[in-house]
Structure 1
Amino acid sequence: MLLIGYCLVLLACFYLLAVVCEEFFVESLDVIIDRLKLSPDVAGATFMAVGSSAPELFTSLIAVLRPGGHADVGAGAIVGSAIFNILVIIGGSALFKRAVLTWQPVVRDSLFHFLSIVLLLFSFWDGVVQWYEVLSFLTLYGVYIFAVTRWKRWFPYKQSEDPLDVVDAQVQKNFLARSSRLVLSYIIPDVKKDKTKYLYTFFMAIMAIAGLSYALVESAIGIGEVLQISPAIIALTVLAAGTSIPDLLSSIIVAKKGRGDMAVSNAIGSNIFDILFGLGVPWAVVLLASGGVPIQVSTENLLSSIFLLFATVVSVFFVLFLRNWTLGKRAGWILIGLYVLYLGYTVSLVV
């Protein structure tokens, strides 16, 4: 009975997180971007990255701040989400429409994704996260933002679509979604109706996301205790997929419209943000609060997934290179199949 309760809480949190992020948090970020007059590239790599990856970021933050040493839950959610993004989001998008990708941004994002995974491997190798490792995460993310702003000058290419349009790729609202939005609007102001309250909406949405992320982490730990398995396994599979569903739906919608570049960039860009910022910031907060005491991370169930992520990223890049940067249905089915195998492997760790 307790297990059913934890599962219901988990499902409710996934749904409410998607509604809060899409209907309130991202909308407030859109207003902030307009007020700051940011270029689409910079906005996409910063504010919109925060908007699409807020669940992973706050799950990581709550997990690492929670007493009892559960930093592996946040790390597991981010590593699992990265694998989901590469295999399921890119693969799922390819199933709906064949895409010819622009190689310049794919090379840029793949390069930084590769470097971020290498940093992650070095940080997790000894199970201890040091201050200089955290600094390297945040520094590399700063370099990535700089590269995003300059890449088109260094390697000119035609960009036919605005990265910010991804926030407009919304799923048709059903009765439950409309009802949830109506109820939440009594707590969080709707900037579509009153843009002057965008800062209040921004902070209230953050509070809601933080609260829901806390419930997610507690539910994952609870499920792990009931089933007597590591919460990191739950994070690598259930939490990772649940927090990435909104990205999957928006990527499929833009892929159907023939914007394959956007779907791939959304998947890889989210991974770069999740690893470098989503882990770097929570770790930095903990290190500052503890006076620089290294963070202990149980990597028993994480290292193999990181190696698999590394191999997957390299393989996908070379497949795209050899196929002249095209992505079709066959590649999509292969990627989906690889994710099913990954789930089977992860489950086998606890059987």
Structure 2
Amino acid sequence: MEYIILIIGFVLLIKGADFFVEGSSSVAKQLRVPSMIIGLTIVAMGTSLPECSVSITAALAHKNGLAISNAVGSNTFNLMVVCGACTLFCPLAVQKETLKKEFPFSIVAALLLLGFGFTGMLVGHMEGFVMLFLFACFLIWMIQSARKARATASDEEEYEILPVWKCFLFIAGGIIAIKFGGDMVVDSASTIAKNFGMTDTLIGLTIVAFGTSLPELVTSIVAARKDEVDMALGNVIGSNIFNILLVLGVAAAISPITFSMQNIIDIIVLVIMSILVLIFAATKKTINRTEGIIMLVLYAGYVVYICNR
């Protein structure tokens, strides 16, 4: 029965995020915001809602081991699998501004989390509010970038836009589906973990991280196949920033997050992999298929490691 609830929860998460992204993206396009900014903000926020729902639900249930492993596991999955899979369809071109600003900012967010956890093995209420403040700064930064882009946008560019009523219907329905889907995933995943003798950290790094990252995977692959590589990469980078600063920031503000040494190791792995992908991207301003395959192989090795440690 728990497996059925888990599957239903994942379906609600994925479809809810899909409706939310479609409705929100249509609203953003009416404001003439470019693909990269949409990916970093609206789409990233929509595809990160499953992680947010799962981690906040876990925090309210005082299961923060699941909250942090879900966020860190999702970020590693986003970076290595989502980006790696996209390169199988077309090389991921990376804008110079992204290499200088948003990508390094995502690494700084991971280092901040590592610093908070390593110093006291705890992310408390104060640290959570600091992360939320930095997230607010990131949003303001993106809004300013969107305004500049809108000012220089061509009036001749056309978009397929949903009716306003349908946009709000998709957004509201998506949020409701994500909320209930998150509840179902946390409850069923925790029960399954206990039945198999698995820790919350392991179940969060594997089953829950994969399930809540499916929206990012589907959205980015679809964007890559449509040659919207800016949207694909922006979605991943934006989601990783959201997952740490917003998701864990809210979770810590609700209930302090206790770290284990395994959490520290997983964040170090995330930082190392982020730097590696940044190097791949910086070499020729693209991530090619060979580099993408290397990323997928490294992630497979990491999964083997966490399942056997």
User: Normalization by structure 2: what TM-score?
Assistant: 0.86
1:20 maps to what in 2?
Answer: 16
Aligned pairs for 1:23-38 within 5 A: 23=19, 25-30=20-25, 33=28, 37=31
Aligned-residue offset at 1:259? 2.9
1:314 maps to what in 2?
Answer: 275
Task: Measure, in 2, the Cα distance between the counterparts of 1:38 and 1:230.
Answer: 46
1:175 maps to what in 2?
Answer: none
Structure with greater Cα Rg: 1
Deviations 1:122-153 (A, max 9, x none): 22222322233112211221222233345699
Task: Measure, in 1, the Cα distance between the counterparts of 2:229 and 2:169.
Answer: 35
User: How much identity, in percent, do the aligned residues show?
Assistant: 28
How many residue pairs match? The answer is 301
1:118 maps to what in 2?
Answer: 111
1:95 maps to what in 2?
Answer: 88
- Give the direction of change, closer, same or farther, for the CA distance of 1:219–1:143 in structure 2 (3 Å limit): same
Aligned-residue offset at 1:309? 0.1
Deviations 1:88-144 (A, max 9, x none): 011111111123321212331111111110111122222322233112211221222
Is the partner of 1:320 in helix, strand or coil?
helix
**Does 207-216 or 335-344 show the bigger shift?**
207-216
Aligned-residue offset at 1:245? 1.4
- For the Cα contact (< 8 Å) 2:116–2:123, is it kept in 1? yes
| 4+ aligned runs moved over 6 Å, structure 1 | none
Is the partner of 2:284 in helix, strand or coil?
coil
Structure 1 residue ranges without an equivalent (≥5): 169-190, 288-294
Amino acid across the alignment from 1:114: I
Q: Given the alignment of the two structures, is residue 216 of structure 1 paired with residue 171 of structure 2, yes or no?
A: no
- For the Cα contact (< 8 Å) 1:77–1:235, is it kept in 2? yes
Q: Given the alignment of the two structures, is residue 145 of structure 1 paired with residue 139 of structure 2, yes or no?
A: yes
Amino acid across the alignment from 1:262: M
Q: Given the alignment of the two structures, is residue 276 of structure 1 paired with residue 252 of structure 2, yes or no?
A: no
- For the Cα contact (< 8 Å) 2:82–2:236, is it kept in 1? yes
Is the partner of 1:52 in helix, strand or coil?
helix
Task: Measure, in 1, the Cα distance between the counterparts of 2:67 and 2:243.
Answer: 10
Deviations 1:152-174 (A, max 9, x none): 999xxx999xxxx9xx9xxxxxx
Amino acid across the alignment from 2:298: L
- Give the direction of change, closer, same or farther, for the CA distance of 1:316–1:44 in structure 2 (3 Å limit): closer
Q: Given the alignment of the two structures, is residue 81 of structure 1 paired with residue 50 of structure 2, yes or no?
A: no
Deviations 1:153-200 (A, max 9, x none): 99xxx999xxxx9xx9xxxxxxxxxxxxxxxxxxxxxx96x7447656
Task: Measure, in 1, the Cα distance between the counterparts of 2:16 and 2:302.
Answer: 30
Amino acid across the alignment from 1:274: N
Q: Given the alignment of the two structures, is residue 244 of structure 1 paired with residue 216 of structure 2, yes or no?
A: no
**Does 251-260 or 111-120 show the bigger shift?**
251-260
- For the Cα contact (< 8 Å) 1:99–1:259, is it kept in 2? no
Q: Given the alignment of the two structures, is residue 260 of structure 1 paired with residue 229 of structure 2, yes or no?
A: yes
1:339 maps to what in 2?
Answer: 299
2:129 maps to what in 1?
Answer: 135
Deviations 1:315-346 (A, max 9, x none): 1112222x221221110110000110010011
Of 235, 257, 265, 2:204 maps to 235
Amino acid across the alignment from 2:241: I
User: Normalization by structure 1: what TM-score?
Assistant: 0.76
- Give the direction of change, closer, same or farther, for the CA distance of 1:30–1:252 in structure 2 (3 Å limit): closer
- For the Cα contact (< 8 Å) 2:92–2:233, is it kept in 1? no
Aligned pairs for 1:145-164 within 5 A: 145-150=139-144
Q: Given the alignment of the two structures, is residue 48 of structure 1 paired with residue 40 of structure 2, yes or no?
A: no
Query: What is the CA RMSD across the aligned residues, in angstroms?
Result: 3.0
Task: Measure, in 1, the Cα distance between the counterparts of 2:291 and 2:303.
Answer: 19
Deviations 1:273-312 (A, max 9, x none): 111111112332x16xxxxxxx142424311110000000
